[in-house]
Amino acid sequence: MSTTAVSGVTAVRKHTAVRRELERLLGGMSPGEALPAERDLSRDLQVARMTLRRAVDTLVEDGRLVRRPGAGTFVAPRRVDQRLSATSFSDDMRARGMVPGGRTLWAKRSAVGTLMASVLEVDKGSAMLHVRRLRTADGAPMAVENLHVPSDLVPGLTGEDLEGASFYALLAERFRLTIASGVQTVEPCLTTPEDAACLEVDAGNPAFLFERTSRLSDGRVVEYVRSVYRGDLYRIVVDIFPTRQSTAPPT
């Protein structure tokens, strides 16, 4: 083996060892906590700064660390797994051991236009409640939600009623209505300046756009929700199963 090859192997081993030491360090740190200064880490780990930077780079690429220009390197926020199932935001957060919350940004009643009438399957001009909410988990902003509901299904409901509350719980307890089915789509998007300000991220950051239409047991549309979830805190999880193969002999 050439001297260059031996040197390369040694560099890889050193980089791997440094990464392991950093992972041990991260295990005792909290999300959002700043990584010690580069000079201090290189001294404590007894490695060159270049080797340290390469190890840190791999942890940034893996989403374990986050670099903030002019501020430093920080432990990445804990990601919340989002399973594609018919659960409310509040139930989903509680299932992950987090405290759900919500703040109503504004609410208004208005006449339904042509497009929204088609989505809600109501007559154009019908009354609709539109509520824009910030959803949080353990106090951290997670999503900006725009909820649209036919007013006749939720008479008297206000934005204040939804302050820190679950819409699904209000439907069941106050209006005796239960979600029976729904269709949800998810696609990548970039945060607009307005959404970014609410989510406390930079405009143009990667995010997930969730759109959901839910129905009651009689088929009526009870909600259309358009939500933007932080891409740095959410991960989509899908359960998959193999398709059952037919055992019938070929004809």
The pLDDT tens digits of the residues spanning 133-192 come to 999 888 889 899 999 999 999 999 999 999 888 898 899 999 999 988 888 888 999 999
pLDDT at 155: 95
Domain end among 75, 94, 129: 75
Q: Which domain does 187 fall in, by range?
A: 80-237
Name the band, by pLDDT with cuts 50, 70 and 90, for residue 8: very low
In a domain, 247, yes or no: no
Residues 54, 123 share a domain: no
Residue 221: pLDDT over 90: yes
pLDDT at 58: 84
In a domain, 251, yes or no: no
pLDDT at 97: 75
pLDDT at 44: 85
Average pLDDT of the residues in 207-222: 93
Residues 116, 221 share a domain: yes
Average pLDDT of the residues in 2-9: 37
Q: What are phi and psi of 198, to 5 degrees?
A: -70, -40
Residue 243: pLDDT over 80: no
Neighbours of 192 (CB within 10 A): 14
Residue 6: pLDDT over 60: no
Domain end among 47, 75, 103: 75
pLDDT tens-digit series, residues 136-151: 888 889 899 999 999 9
